[in-house]
Amino acid sequence: MEEKNKAQSRRKFIQNGVRASLLLSLGVVSASALRRVTTGEYVWQIDPFKCTQCSRCATECVMSPSAVKCIHAFDLCGYCDLCGGYLKPDSNARSTAAENQLCPTAAIERRFIEEPYFEYHINEELCIGCAKCVAGCTSFGNGSMHLQIMHHICVNCNECSIARLCPSDAISRVPASEAYKVKGSWTNPA
């Protein structure tokens, strides 16, 4: 009889242990789901007002080519014939010839609208995030071109290798709902 009680108590002990471990794992899963719902997903973001066009986005990203691409804010663009983001400062002519283009991969496409206006589109597949066009647009234009991390390409590393080396601290983690900061006005929003 004593052996039967021992067997029952062992059985109860094992059942209680299994129940406790199931409750604990259910609690962990629930807490994880609750934390994900309340905190939301975070992504890496470049603040275009802090970016200094250092070109590290092209070389330091773990993706090849970089997940950082140029974005063009059309509402700021002057649609100039002489675009500082498209043409080299010392170019011989205002043409689409390769020797006149600032972009090393020809990622900027220039389209004629009407005399003397052109529209500039960024080919995301060709853009390597070198920031040459952004620096040119900022120096000789109105700053309508800027860099942005493309979240459909980015692997969202726990520690972004670009953010770690960014000299101006322009890259930070933000909620996915506030993912893209685009230059849509002349001043930094408060």
Q: Which residue has the tokens 């200094």?
A: 52
Render pLDDT for 78-99 as a digit per residue (tens, 0 to 9).
888 888 899 988 887 878 888 8
pLDDT at 12: 80
pLDDT at 173: 92
Confidence of residue 127 (pLDDT cuts 50, 70, 90): very high
Q: What are phi and psi for residue 14, nearest 5 degrees? A: -65, -45
Q: CA–CA separation, 158 vs 137, rounded Å?
A: 32
Query: Tokens for 140?
Result: 């000789």
Distances (CA, A) of 162 to 13, 67, 165, 178: 53, 10, 5, 20
Render pLDDT for 26-77 as a digit per residue (tens, 0 to 9).
777 766 655 554 446 899 999 999 999 999 999 999 999 999 999 988 888 8
Other C-beta atoms within 10 Å of 4: how many?
Answer: 8
Q: Which residue has the tokens 């609208």?
A: 113
Considering all CA atoms of the chain, what is the largest pairwise distance in Å, rounded to the nearest integer? 104
Residue 51: name the closest of 140, 143, 126 by CA: 143
Query: Does residue 176 have a pLDDT over 50?
Result: yes
